[in-house]
Amino acid sequence: MSVESVITENLDIWTSTIKTKSASGRGSSNKLELYGIKKLRELILELAVRGKLVPQDLNDEPASKLLEKISIERAKLVKTKAIKKQKQLPEVNEDELSFSIPSNWSWTRLGNITEIGPRNDVDDEQKVAFIPMPLISTSFDGKHDQETRIWSEVKKGYTHFADGDIAIAKITPCFENSKAAYFSNLQGGVGSGTTELHVARPIPDTLDPLFILLYLKAPMFLELGKTKMTGSAGQKRVPKDFFAGNPLPFPPLNEQKRIVAKVNELMKLIDQLESKTETSIEAHKTLVETLLATLTNAKDADELNESWQRISEHFDTLFTTEDSIDQLKQTILQLAVMGKLVKQDPNDEPASALLERIAEEKEQLIKDKKIKKQKALAPIVESELPYELPIGWTWCRIGDVLETISDYHANGGYKILKENVELLEQKDFAIMLRTTNFSKKNYSEYKYITEKAYNFLEKSKLYPNDIIMNKIGDPGSTFYVDDRGQPMSLAMNLFLLRVSLANSKYIFKYLNANYDYVKSFANGTSTQTITKDAVNNLLCPLPPLVEQERIVSKIDELFAICNSLYAQITKAKSLQNRLAETISSSLVS
């Protein structure tokens, strides 16, 4: 089967196999990777350097003859001092080989057919190219940009290269991301740049440097290179010896050129697939956003029902991605806090009466010295109100419904925490809830503290129905403490929001629905922070208490459906990923 057939006959697999990129921070779930397209590009490169992309031509001069010519020409250049003499690397032995190559190919090493780490001899006043790492792309064809410098400014302390040289980034994560370059059209024909490069200079007119570039970008080279890295975390580098000495499958020169031409042809086809797929994904996302906006923008119940009917008729085609499910869940939350998710009951006690009861209870708690009197909240003015509420609802400040908001470790608590609490990797007694449980959106990556430490930090104890808010880094993100049967404690840089008479889960849902609004009150340059006063003064649409309970129940019901859809999509994507990987591996094996 030809590679073109593999692409065209499996278009649905390549274009629909999508992964969610792993990234920290709220909203990272929206960052998608076209995994099928990525695997297709990797497949092309792997087939190219294994001799399976184009047919062999028996009329081609075998690679063994080409290697002999390169050796002779290299010796001449050394003799004339055009290049420095380098150590001859040993021939590749069978123990090093992980796959077979065509009969007219040969195994060699990059250090035996190129000059590794060349230096330039240039007039000090000549204008040359300067290329820092950000100007080197991950493109398969080794594209790069350049700046213009004077040679005397950049000849020392930088890596040298010239037109026709090939280079790879040696430092993590640039190496793993396949940052590599084929240098061409350099200012003055030469240049220097980042020291985090390994450079190879081919013997002129003896090989196609773009084929060598394909080898450096092939998955087999990158995967093996990762295992050879040395150094500490964040500063790991691929050794020069691996770059120069790893076994290189080497085809006849004419086949090198045919391979490069075929890769260019196929990559253009894949670029077209990628562009169409991205356009389709963006169009789908826009459609979902537009239709869901008709729900939150509906003027009355009839218009809301009409919009929902229009969406429900196309439910199976609209909500087919994790992102669309997330959008649906966010819309459900927004409808809930606007009073559009459940019907109002005129017999419900109005929210204003609930606020009065909360105020009376807080006064009593202050008299009993169980809580401190809080700073007066700003009066609500009409210009602040984003939308009109149903009858029986009222606007209030979050601080109006909180029994207390505390940040225990802000005042002296940090010292107590540092001196008395040992965070444990393994499960011990109590969960210590930290800011990382918010920014990673992974509530399972807990640290634990002992029972002694838990009891020592009395004011940090958490109870079911407490709401925790992140105050720094990802300010405004929230966590709801449910009854999980295990004690929990509050770490630094988190607010505890405790609600008494109102439904705390409703307040939590409101904060989730309006994360962007909450975060807008954060300030700071390097680290965004939200203050206790800002949180207390957040606007909140408050329904009657019994309606709060109905809203929470309806949200939970609808979210259960969304989560079921999400699980189906995740399972289908996992199968697609495995299928794409299976097709790729079956062709290169």
Q: Give residue 121's domain range.
A: 61-251
**Sign of the CA dihedral running 318, 323, 328, 329:** positive
Evaluate whether residue 180 is within a structural domain: yes
- Please name the amino acid found at residue 217: K
Q: CA 14, CA 238: separation in Å to the nearest integer?
A: 31
Same domain for 522 and 429: yes
pLDDT one-digit tens code per residue, 425-454: 566 788 878 777 765 555 557 778 888 888
pLDDT one-digit tens code per residue, 240-263: 999 999 999 999 999 999 999 999
| Residue 572 half-sphere exposure toward CB, CA atoms < 13 A | 14
Evaluate whether residue 269 is within a structural domain: no
Q: CA 503, CA 397: separation in Å to the nearest integer?
A: 15
pLDDT on residue 72: 93
Cα 481 from chain centre: 27
Q: What is the dihedral of CA 228, 233, 237, 238, to 10 degrees?
A: 20
Evaluate whether residue 223 is within a structural domain: yes
**Which residues are CB-contacts of 49 (< 8 A; sequence separation ≥ 6)?**
214, 215, 218, 220, 221, 249
Evaluate whether residue 376 is within a structural domain: yes
Judge whether residue 491 has pLDDT over 90. Answer: no
pLDDT one-digit tens code per residue, 203-235: 988 999 999 999 999 999 999 999 999 998 778
pLDDT one-digit tens code per residue, 529-576: 999 999 999 999 999 999 999 999 999 999 999 999 888 888 887 787
pLDDT one-digit tens code per residue, 270-307: 899 889 988 888 888 899 999 999 988 888 778 888 88
pLDDT on residue 23: 45
Q: Interior CA angle at 572 toward 570 and 576, to 5°?
A: 115
Q: CATH number, domain at 371?
A: 3.90.220.20
Domain boundary among 218, 251, 284: 251
Q: CA 544, CA 369: separation in Å to the nearest integer?
A: 29
pLDDT on residue 441: 52
Evaluate whether residue 47 is within a structural domain: no
Token pair of 265 as six digits: 């042809």
3-state helix/strand/coil string of 107-161? EEEHHHHEEECCCCCCCCCCEEEEECHHHECCCCCCCECCEEEEHHHHCCCCEEE
Judge whether residue 107 has pLDDT over 90. Answer: yes
Same domain for 333 and 296: yes
Evaluate whether residue 513 is within a structural domain: yes
pLDDT one-digit tens code per residue, 512-522: 999 999 999 99
Same domain for 224 and 333: no
Same domain for 377 and 523: yes
pLDDT on residue 199: 97
pLDDT one-digit tens code per residue, 178-212: 999 999 999 999 999 999 999 999 998 899 999 99
Same domain for 175 and 287: no
Same domain for 366 and 393: yes
The model's confidence at residue 106, banded by pLDDT at 50, 70 and 90, is: very high
CB 492 within 8 Å of CB 502: no
Number of Cβ within 10 Å of residue 403's Cβ equals 17
pLDDT one-digit tens code per residue, 17-60: 777 665 444 444 446 778 888 888 888 999 999 999 999 999 99
DSSP codes, 65-84: HHHHHHHHHHHHHHHTTSS-
pLDDT on residue 411: 47
Same domain for 289 and 244: no
Evaluate whether residue 16 is within a structural domain: no
pLDDT on residue 454: 83
Same domain for 511 and 399: yes
Q: CA 442, CA 425: separation in Å to the nearest integer?
A: 16
Same domain for 137 and 278: no
Q: Interior CA angle at 312 toward 311 and 314, to 5°?
A: 70
Evaluate whether residue 54 is within a structural domain: no
How many separate domains does the chain show? Answer: 3
Bridge partner list, 180: 168
Same domain for 169 and 127: yes
Q: What percent of the chain has pLDDT over 90?
A: 56
Token pair of 39 as six digits: 């695997």
CB 167 within 8 Å of CB 199: yes
Same domain for 289 and 169: no
Phi and psi (nearest 5°) for 137? -90, 175
Same domain for 308 and 406: no
Cα 583 from chain centre: 26
